[in-house]
Amino acid sequence: MSLENTGVAHEEEHATMSKGRIWKVFFILLAITVVEFIIALGVPETVMPHLIRNSIYVILTLFKAYYIVAFFMHLKFEKYALKAGILLSLIFIIYFIVLLLIEGNYLNSHLTI
């Protein structure tokens, strides 16, 4: 791949991430974190049970991860092949999570430590 080539492709690609957009993503990340804080500190256990609370945390975290990877790391504007190559590999991590949490749960109900 010649350098001139990258230079040209480069300018087209990156017109998408302006200063305004950077700050917009920042405020989204900040807002999500503030919501997490409000849930953690302001909402009593009786109103929101543990399971729902934790599910909300995980969903909000995934939203934050999306904004960081898509915009800050610029993956949203890359070629489909690159996006697919990176994101499909995460299937292994999801599989690993499911596998070990089931295992942990099993130990919880079968061991007394």
Residues that bind another protein (CB under 8 A): 1, 3, 5-7, 9-11, 13-14, 17-19, 22-23, 26, 29-30, 33, 36-37, 40-41, 54, 57-58, 60-61, 64-65, 68-69, 71-74, 78-79, 81-82, 85-86, 89-90, 92-93, 96-97, 100-101, 103-105, 107-108, 111-113
The answer to whether the CB of 36 falls within 8 A of the CB of 60 is yes
Min dist. Cβ of residue 85 to another protein (A):
8
Residue 106 Cβ vs another protein, minimum distance, rounded to whole Å: 8
Helix (H) or strand (E) holding 23: helix 19-42
Residues 6+ apart with CB under 8 A from 48: 39
